[in-house]
Amino acid sequence: MTSLNPTPITSAINTQFGLDLAGEIRVDLFAGGGGATMGQEMATGIPVDIAINHNPNAISMHKRNHPGAQHYITDVYEVCPRMATRGRPVGHLHASPECTHHSLAAGGQARSTTSRSQSWVIIKWAGQVAPRMITMENVWQILQWGRLIAKRCMKTGRVVRRDGTVATPGERVPVQDQYLVPDPKCKGKTWRRFVQILKGMGYNLIHGKLKACDFGAATTRERLYMIARRDGKPLHWPEPTHFKNPAKGQKPWRTSASIIDWSIPCPSIFLSKEEGRAAGVRRPLVSKTMERLRKGARRYVTEHADPFIISVDHAGRDQTFLAPFITEHANATSQRNNPANAPLGTICANVKGGHFALTVAYIAQHNGGFNTTLGRHPEQPLTAITTTGSQQQLVAANLIALRKNCVGREMGEPAPTITAGTEHHALVKYTLAPEMEAGAMRVAAFLMGYYGSDNTYDLRDPAATITTRDRLALVTVTIKGTPYVIVDIGMRMLTPRELYRAQGFPDNYVIDYGHDGRKLSKKDQVLMVGNSVSPWPMMALINANKDTAEDELQELAA
């Protein structure tokens, strides 16, 4: 049995809502819901003065959590730096330009030159108000920023449209209708020009990758960060504070398990359309999704040698165990999954007769395109959170302890036999309650991929000639000498709060209401967290480059 502190980030981040004694102001150009602002305030204790974003709901969330800032609901290019700052010196300018059309995640989608050019607004602010320090966050692929050209058909050499069709001979396709791709001859040319202009303005700069989990967040989100200064002070790169394999005295990565609310049930993956509607979930699941789930369940429930377990006492009697693991799924032929080895909070298995139930859980990620990341251990952070929040979903397999859920049988009635675990080299005979046995047989069929005539999982297929004993052995897991049978598998999406925890926001960060009381939908909440900067690497970058004088001023302000 392994251990883990399941407590999520809950402490408030208090900032000094007073005057900056140095007389400088701070600006967040692509403020969103407030991730970069949060990191800056965590590092300095001083609020951001100006926040700009085109999304009214994002600004409303930002204003709810950072009321000291002056907020602009507009495109960043529409704000005049001189007018916004009113002659005040800018100590720190941060920008997180849209990354979608630089990222490889855009895959086969058309690329937007407008989106890719947003970083130029940094040059505008640098030229007009000369911030003392500039930071920037974006995807690593921005280093390949260069000209876009029309994709051409491999066979005909003609232009490919955005919808994938090929132009007719002699046809001129307007640029807005072209399928645009990076020009291989110009990779990185625009980025190098961008850096050259900043240096020509008197800025020294460095850039590199920072991974959020290395600084205290529970996500592996990895981004390019740049820091530039024009005051002659040396530049420093932050050292990681958390480690995958910590040495003595080092902090471990914050785990996926630590940010999940394990009390929320996972509706069964076997529900019908009507049952799913009643449970508020979309069921039945498509075959590709079920195939991904089957891979994870077999690898981390039935075939794993050391499941992650924790005691759960539902009835004040014997205890059961919780054994979750984290996995991700994508449209790929290979799967990378990892077992859990960190305990979680108490969870109700929600199984009929399940006072002695065990739940084996993992995170299923449903991505398409180029994403081939398929599995993750709950002692590791989540992968990068997207704007839809639908890729990462919690899966839970419910197990019943046989010794506590057996029922009597009539004389002469045969009892199904199941293997108590190959490591014990023993056969133990139990009789399951009818509803438990039905669930176990359904899960066995699911793990073996057998479909019935109604496209549900069962073992009526003529080819499925294995015995009841073998079928039950397939869904039997032995933990600490006690055999359990898998009777159900459930799945749910992660909640917005869980995603914000993973990103590194504190639990007291308001995500469901704006500054004016407007209710923010779950879709809005997830959109904001998917677009947000993780506060922790942002804080680390600023901390590494704070001046001694700034530290002294903060102490005086406190």
Report the distance separating Cα 13 and Cα 504, nearest Å: 12
Tokens of 53: 């974003």
Do 171 and 224 fall into the same domain? no
Residue 94 has pLDDT above 50, yes or no: yes
Q: Which domain holds residue 159?
A: 148-182
Domain harbouring 524, CATH code = 3.40.50.150
Report the distance separating Cα 35 and Cα 47, nearest Å: 13
- Choose from 23-37, 422-436, 459-473, 540-554 the range with maximum mean pLDDT: 23-37
Q: Which residue has the tokens 């995170």?
A: 363
Residue 354 has pLDDT above 50, yes or no: no
pLDDT recorded at residue 120: 92
Q: Residue 13: inside a domain, yes or no?
A: no
Cβ atoms 214, 242 nearer than 8 A: yes
Beta bridge partners of 209: 224
Q: Residue 195: inside a domain, yes or no?
A: yes
Domain C-terminal end among 454, 469, 494:
494
pLDDT mean over 52-77: 95
Do 154 and 136 fall into the same domain? no
pLDDT recorded at residue 474: 81
CB contact burial 139-151 (16+ within 10 A = b; e otherwise): bbbbbbbbebebb
Do 369 and 269 fall into the same domain? yes
Do 178 and 188 fall into the same domain? no
Q: Residue 211: inside a domain, yes or no?
A: yes
Residue 121 has pLDDT above 90, yes or no: yes
Cβ atoms 2, 341 nearer than 8 A: yes
pLDDT recorded at residue 324: 44
Choice among 176-180, 354-358, 397-401 with the minimum mean pLDDT: 354-358
Confidence of residue 113 (pLDDT cuts 50, 70, 90): low
Number of independent structural domains in the chain: 3
Residue 99 has pLDDT above 80, yes or no: no
Residue 450 has pLDDT above 70, yes or no: no
Choice among 221-235, 269-283, 504-518 with the minimum mean pLDDT: 269-283
Burial of 465 (0-12, 13-18, 19+ CB in 10 A): exposed
pLDDT recorded at residue 285: 84
3 state SS of 330: strand
Do 97 and 224 fall into the same domain? yes
pLDDT mean over 275-290: 86
Do 448 and 486 fall into the same domain? yes
Residue 345 has pLDDT above 60, yes or no: no
Cβ atoms 178, 150 nearer than 8 A: yes
Choice among 27-36, 307-316, 395-404 with the minimum mean pLDDT: 307-316
What is the separation of C-alpha 51 from the centre of its chain, rounded to a whole number of angstroms?
25
Do 309 and 337 fall into the same domain? yes
pLDDT recorded at residue 321: 42
CB contact burial 422-432 (16+ within 10 A = b; e otherwise): eeeeeeeebbb
Q: In sequence order, what E strands does 202-309 have?
A: 204-211, 222-229, 242-243, 251-252
Domain C-terminal end among 448, 470, 494:
494
282: number of Cβ within 10 Å: 12
Instruction: Please name the amino acid found at residue 213.
Output: C
pLDDT tens, 176-210?
A: 888 888 888 888 899 999 999 999 999 999 999 99
- The residue among 458, 405, 459, 410 whose CA lies nearest residue 432 is 405
- Choose from 253-262, 304-313, 379-388, 449-458 the range with maximum mean pLDDT: 253-262
Confidence of residue 452 (pLDDT cuts 50, 70, 90): low
- The residue among 433, 347, 435 whose CA lies nearest residue 397 is 347
Report the distance separating Cα 28 and Cα 37, nearest Å: 7
Do 169 and 125 fall into the same domain? no
pLDDT tens, 413-432?
A: 444 444 433 333 333 445 67
Q: Residue 251: inside a domain, yes or no?
A: no
Residue 341 has pLDDT above 70, yes or no: no
pLDDT recorded at residue 112: 59
Q: Residue 553: inside a domain, yes or no?
A: yes
17: number of Cβ within 10 Å: 12
Do 85 and 165 fall into the same domain? no
Instruction: For residue 132, give Cα distances in angstroms to 58, 349, 383, 497, 547.
Output: 27, 55, 34, 35, 12
Helices (H), 359-511: 402-405, 434-448, 468-474, 496-503
Give the DSSP H/E element, type plus range, for residue 59: helix 56-65
Summary mean pLDDT of the chain: 75
Cβ atoms 386, 530 nearer than 8 A: yes
- The residue among 158, 150, 140, 149 whose CA lies nearest residue 186 is 149
Number of H helices, E strands in the chain: 15, 22
Report the distance separating Cα 37 and Cα 47, nearest Å: 8
Beta bridge partners of 392: 365
pLDDT tens, 126-158?
A: 999 999 999 999 988 888 888 888 889 999 999
Q: Residue 503: inside a domain, yes or no?
A: no
Report the distance separating Cα 21 and Cα 310, nearest Å: 51
Q: Which residue has the tokens 């200064």?
A: 229
Do 423 and 363 fall into the same domain? yes
pLDDT tens, 7-58?
A: 333 333 344 444 444 589 999 999 988 999 999 999 999 999 999 999 999 9
225: number of Cβ within 10 Å: 21
Residue 386 has pLDDT above 80, yes or no: no
pLDDT recorded at residue 379: 56
Counting every residue written for the chain, the total comes to: 558
Residue that wins the pLDDT comparison between 343 and 557 = 557
Do 165 and 212 fall into the same domain? no
